[in-house]
Structure 1
Amino acid sequence: MNRKNASDFDQRALDLYDDYAHGRLTRRDFSQRIAAIATAGVTAEAIIEGLTPNYAWAQQVAPDDARIKTETFEYDSPKGGGKIKGLLARPKKEGTKFPAVLVIHENRGLNPYIADVARRLATDGFLALAPDALSPLGGYPGTDDEGRKMQASRKPAEMLEDFIAAAQTLQSHPLSTGKVGAVGFCYGGGVVNQLAVRIPDVIQAGVPFYGSQPSLEDVPKIKAALLIHYAELDQRINAGWPAFEKALQENKVKHQAFVYPGVNHGFHNDSTPRYDEAAAKLAWERTVAFFKEHLGS
């Protein structure tokens, strides 16, 4: 599949894909609506194929990269799914401890893009754990469509407990300094905000990428510093930002927020055409610097 950019698509197609990817449209409805905007010589299926993730594009750090060590890691989540598996990645350096970062996936389980994000963090000096909330159902199934269906079948409150348990596990891990941050994308961005509310004494730094905001009455509970990334064209998520920003300011929560111009929800995910290289690189540079500032390096 030749790589396409967001500019290769009608913005209506990108918006419809966002609705489909987040379960607001069925595959059938998505296909029908795409067909209605397809131009001469371009079929609906061609548009869908072009929008489908290609995880070969997302690998920036190979699983066997000599700079890092990775392993399948299992931890207990007694209030959630029981036993949860994930990817644990760290620098290869022995005899030292590392600041820890929890990596929280989108609404489709631990796919190769999220696993690569964990490895990227390891190359920058962090102990990174990327749990798979689909573990109780057998784990990420290999396709996002199936992963999305599986994740939708889990109870949201139990999944949140899985990530709370993961953060607590990182805090006490023998290779961790005890300083814990969290980064998440889409669904995972919303979870970062929830963790900042639910376990304020564990999460010291949070980076939600285009994540839903917490309840405003919960904002006073936040102790973590937040670095918040939004996409200008992501009207659905951005609608909640003004009220969230006001609550953060009123409660003197340390935060920075950036709205990246001309980009779509999912702009950091380099497996789809919504990826924007310039915005993604800048947001990631800011993210790594933020974690080093608040967690150490």
Structure 2
Amino acid sequence: MTTRVDSVGDFDLPVWLPAGGQGPAIVLVQEIFGLDDYLRSVAAELAAAGFVVGVPDLFWRTDPGWSSGHDEAGLSASMAVAGEFDPASGVSDVAAALAHLRSLPEVTGKAGALGFCLGGSLAYTLAAVASPDAVVSFYGSTVPSQLSLLDQITCPLQFHFGGQDPYIPRSAVAQVEAAVAGRPGVEIHVQEQAGHAFHNHAAPMFHHPEAAAAAWKLATAFLNTHLAPS
């Protein structure tokens, strides 16, 4: 596995290449904590599984290269940075990253997106406004308020939520469940025992190992199914 940093317009796109040098692509979309050790570990794991992974720097307009700790202080600082973030511009950046990955000679298969928290919301919106081949959205807080976007989405889509999430009430998750019921190509998985950001192993205040393992198994199987080269 090798890494490099590409330029996409005005922002950086760190890229992880699999050992074989080629493969399908994933835009990995960050949480508010930025491109931290956790997200780098996820990118490395996906690259080890054979994907070309790009992680756009979403906060480049206000706080380029942002990365924070995963304690209360880091959460507070990241919330402040996220408060200056423009979601529409972020979606444009994620779409630009997707287009860039598709243009790379190393990308030989399809191209999709996987996002956590803030990134989960943006990946969901990307599915409606761009043309990814598959999207996985982990605990995107704006998903319940943007269910009308589902009618614009044609790619395979997988949602993950925690049943004990203080930021996304279980009643809101139930609205998503009802909205996707019966829609072909759309899955939703709720880890009832988990809260927000349960996959983030670098954040003891959020991480739920059992829920993380179960959801990640589902997510990687979904990505392998829908992004594997034809």
Which protein shows a greater Rg? 1
**Distance (Å, rounded) in 1 between the aligned partners of 2:88 and 2:187:** 28
Partner of 1:241: 173
1:236, distance to aligned residue in structure 2 (A): 3.7
Choose the corresponding residue for 1:196, options 127, 134, 142: 127
Q: Does 1:266 align with 2:197?
A: yes
Number of residue pairs aligned between Structure 1 and Structure 2 = 219
1:286, distance to aligned residue in structure 2 (A): 1.5
Checking the alignment, whether the CA contact within 8 Å between 1:69 and 1:89 is kept in structure 2 is: yes
1:180, distance to aligned residue in structure 2 (A): 1.2
Give the secondary-structure state (helix, strand or coil) at the position aligned to 1:103.
strand
Q: What stretches of structure 1 move > 4 A for 4+ residues in a row?
A: none
Give the secondary-structure state (helix, strand or coil) at the position aligned to 1:203.
coil
Give the secondary-structure state (helix, strand or coil) at the position aligned to 1:71.
strand
1:100, distance to aligned residue in structure 2 (A): 0.5
Partner of 2:11: 84
> Residues 209-247 of structure 1, C-alpha deviation per residue, up to 9 Å, x if partnerless?
111316232211111111211111015424333333333
Partner of 1:293: 225
Give the secondary-structure state (helix, strand or coil) at the position aligned to 1:73.
strand
Partner of 1:19: none
Give the secondary-structure state (helix, strand or coil) at the position aligned to 1:135.
coil
> Residues 86-119 of structure 1, C-alpha deviation per residue, up to 9 Å, x if partnerless?
321011224xx31111111112322221122111
**Distance (Å, rounded) in 2 between the aligned partners of 1:209 and 1:142:** 19
**Distance (Å, rounded) in 2 between the aligned partners of 1:141 and 1:254:** 35
TM-score, normalisation: structure 2: 0.86
Question: Any unmatched runs of 5+ in structure 2?
Answer: none
Give the secondary-structure state (helix, strand or coil) at the position aligned to 1:182.
strand
Partner of 1:210: 139
In the TM superposition, what are the counterparts of 1:132-147 in structure 2 within 5 Å?
132-144=57-69, 145=74, 146-147=77-78
Identity of aligned residues (%): 29
Give the secondary-structure state (helix, strand or coil) at the position aligned to 1:239.
helix
1:138, distance to aligned residue in structure 2 (A): 4.9
TM-score, normalisation: structure 1: 0.68
Partner of 1:152: 83
Question: Any unmatched runs of 5+ in structure 1?
Answer: 1-67, 77-82
Partner of 2:49: 124
**Distance (Å, rounded) in 1 between the aligned partners of 2:67 and 2:179:** 40
In the TM superposition, what are the counterparts of 1:100-111 in structure 2 within 5 Å?
100-111=25-36
Partner of 1:112: 37
1:196, distance to aligned residue in structure 2 (A): 0.8
Checking the alignment, whether the CA contact within 8 Å between 2:23 and 2:107 is kept in structure 1 is: yes
Report the CA distance shift for 1:154/1:265 in structure 2 as closer, same or farther (over 3 A).
closer
**Distance (Å, rounded) in 1 between the aligned partners of 2:37 and 2:43:** 10
1:161, distance to aligned residue in structure 2 (A): 1.1
> Residues 248-269 of structure 1, C-alpha deviation per residue, up to 9 Å, x if partnerless?
336x341222111311111100
Give the secondary-structure state (helix, strand or coil) at the position aligned to 2:112.
strand
1:187, distance to aligned residue in structure 2 (A): 0.9
**Distance (Å, rounded) in 2 between the aligned partners of 1:141 and 1:181:** 24
Checking the alignment, whether the CA contact within 8 Å between 1:108 and 1:140 is kept in structure 2 is: no
Partner of 1:275: 207
Give the CA RMSD over aligned residues.
2.0
Aligned AA (2:106)? L
Checking the alignment, whether the CA contact within 8 Å between 1:111 and 1:140 is kept in structure 2 is: no
